[in-house]
A and B are shown apart, each in its own frame.
Chain A
Amino acid sequence: MSVLPPDLDEAGFATFLEQLRGAVGADWVWSGEADMFPYRDSFSPVWNTGEERHASAAVAPADVEQVSEIVRIARRHRVPLFPISTGKNFGYGGPSPNVNGSVVLDLKRMNRVIEINEARAYALVEPGVSYFDLYREIQERGLKLMVDCPDPGWGSPIGNSLERGVGYTMPHFRDHFGAHCGMEVVLPDGEVMRTGMGALPGSDTWQEYPYGFGPDPAGLFAQGPFGVVTKMGFRLLPLPEYYRSGMISVPRRADFAKLVDHVNYLSDSGLIGEVEFGSPLSALMGDPQFLALATKTGGPSNAEMDAAAEAAGLHSWHVELQIFGPEATTLANWNYASDRILSDIPGAIAIAGDHFPLPATDDQLDNQTQPYRSSIKRRRSLGVPSLGAWKIVRDDGHVGFFPVLPRTAEAVFEMQRVLGDAMKEFPTLPPFFNALTMPLFWHTHTFQMVFAPSIKHDDPAHNAITHAAMKKCVAVAAQHGWGDYRAAPIYQDDVSDTYGFNNHILRRFHEQLKDAIDPDGIIAPGRGGVWPRRFRS
């Protein structure tokens, strides 16, 4: 499907493309149908419908000077650009833009690892660098540093952190935007800006102090339409000497409250890395009677769930802990964590897990040596990029709704009930929200839950259900104070609408900024629900 940029006719588009070719070379500008296919969102629930967003062309600059030139050309022709790093944002829109006819600014050629400083534990990279690339550079140079990568690890640190993506190691590294330090940005007029200490000529602390002096605009470029990020620094975790794991289970449903409180304390104190909550009762979900209980309208009572657990001889919950550091410290932390929880929750059981020096062997990475059934994906937990996550993707992909909720059992149980009941309207979808749905402890200080219904390219009826369910989830969650943290372009306005405090002052503030620096909407208009005046009308 070929489309034109907004307000541009075919002759104008041809002139625009010719100028792009002059800036980057003819081999790095694409507009043919086959060339543009990879820039579609292959996980889109509106695949092949009128709602699907299509780019008109793509251009791949080699350096920041070419990015500036492209932006200036786009500004002259009033053509929206949609910057992508490596375009792997699947589940959240992939490489597809907010506005039909946008030109994808594909930064894949800008793939230099500019600096890795082992002693000071940071890296400075370009957008086309993937987590695999960064990991490979660290390995080949024999540096004692750990990357915190998403799963799968084929995306880029810049793209993922600008989407506020998450990882799986220690709390302050799992928040990938939070772990960034310093960025270089091409603004909508083509000027190049550096944030933080990067604004001070001669500074050697760009990747060590993010703020510099005065207001720090870095946050505007995450999920925002204010510039093209061309370099970004990241704090890295010094490679821990040792890794230790363990599992603690608790018998009763109500015990989850204390378990969560203890895990919060351990995490906030820096004693543990990412945890995996789970329920031994998941093994019963194949039993129709138990499934009916776990998905009961209004939610089952604690007594009903405890009776089912007792009848099956199973505990209600468990948590897998992961600990990093010197060997003696990891052992002390495990002993402290298990003593703390077991002394407070009657009937709790602790099982010491796998432990070994880092870096791990392949067997250890494949998690073949754990003395109990584990849900931990060891590669991502140890900062080793993987593509294995694709083995669990159903059909042609999925969309993702990940509401943010407080780190309390009360909030977890409420979300199980509320969204479980709301999704009964869509009985053909799996029961993502039920009495055993676990919180994800990915971000540093919040829980999330996952709703990720599949899409099928050849089944528009199925996709329509997924699409409707996504919109309902966003709306119902917001009624209870739970907001989505990240969304595909087709949902960004819905999500933005839910952040409506004081008559949507946050969005109006963003719009004022957008109007001031990019009124024609050259950079990703609509991204994050922020539209410039030109498109608001």
Chain B
Amino acid sequence: MISRREVIKWGAAAPAFAACSHAAFASGVQGCDAFLLDQRFAAQVPQNHWGIPVMRFDGDVTGHWYQTIDPAWRQRGYVLGGITGSDALFVLETLAQQHGRRVVSRSQVGAADARGIAPVSWIIAPVHPSVVA
């Protein structure tokens, strides 16, 4: 299980991602293994920041899911943060549940568009005993 302290830390971190300033972003990356950035909403974050891999996409998370996230979620650990559209987060959250993981922090960081899609910053962490680090 993740600890309450970790949840609180990540809860504070997720809104910080949304600021997208280098300082705020740096403060948020602690404890995360990778970030997903939906370029529809957050284009300005560097490719590899403070040693944390940044995976960019444009709403369709298929490539990162197949190449990186699915293999990582078959192992223990792997905390994933991101700023994505709520549509992409729905996909990841649903997949996370199947892999013993859960959204432990989320914060809507902008208004929804005409399709009802809003930018959200979030963290998905392992919660089931079979996958916690």
Which positions in A face B, CB cutoff 8 Å? Answer: 27, 34, 38, 42, 86-88, 108, 132, 136, 152, 154, 379, 385-388, 390-391, 393-397, 454, 456
Contact = CB atoms under 8 A, between A and B. Distances in A.
15 contacts: A27-B129, A27-B130, A42-B90, A86-B98, A108-B98, A132-B66, A154-B91, A388-B62, A390-B59, A390-B60, A393-B87, A393-B115, A395-B116, A397-B90, A454-B116
B116 A387 contact: no
Interface string B82-105: 000001101100110110001000
B76 interface: no
A106 B39 CA distance: 35
B62 A386 contact: yes
B61 interface: yes
B70 interface: yes
A111 B70 CA distance: 14
Contacts of B59: 390-391
Contacts, number: 51
Given A27-B128, A388-B62, A395 B115 contact: yes
A166 B62 CA distance: 20
B129 A387 contact: no
Given A132-B70, A391-B87, A38 B116 contact: no
A379 B66 CA distance: 13
A42 B94 CA distance: 10
B50 interface: no
**What bracket does the count of chain B residues touching chain A fall in?**
20 to 34
B94 A38 contact: yes
A396 B116 contact: yes
Which 8 A-B residue pairings sit nearest by Cβ, starting from the closest? Answer: A395-B116, A388-B60, A38-B97, A387-B62, A391-B59, A394-B115, A386-B62, A390-B87
Nearest to A90: B94
Contact of B65 (A38, A42, A86, A387): A387
A394 B117 CA distance: 7
The B contact surface, by secondary structure, is helix
Contacts of A388: 60, 62
Interface string B26-64: 000000000000000000000000000000000111100
Contacts of A88: 94
A456 B88 contact: no
The A contact surface, by secondary structure, is loop
Contacts of A38: 94, 97
A390 B129 contact: no
B23 to A, nearest CB: 32
A394 B116 CA distance: 6
A387 B98 contact: no
Contacts of B88: 390
A132 B67 CA distance: 11
B90 to A, nearest CB: 7
Nearest to B114: A394
B33 to A, nearest CB: 20
A379 B63 CA distance: 12
A39 to B, nearest CB: 9
A44 to B, nearest CB: 14
B82 to A, nearest CB: 14
A34 B62 CA distance: 27
B98 A87 contact: yes
Given A132-B66, A390-B87, 4 more contacts: A34-B102, A87-B98, A394-B116, A395-B116
A136 B66 contact: yes
A349 to B, nearest CB: 32
Contacts of A132: 65-66, 70
B61 to A, nearest CB: 6
Contacts of B94: 38, 88, 154
B48 to A, nearest CB: 22
Contacts of B61: 387
Contacts of B90: 42, 390, 397
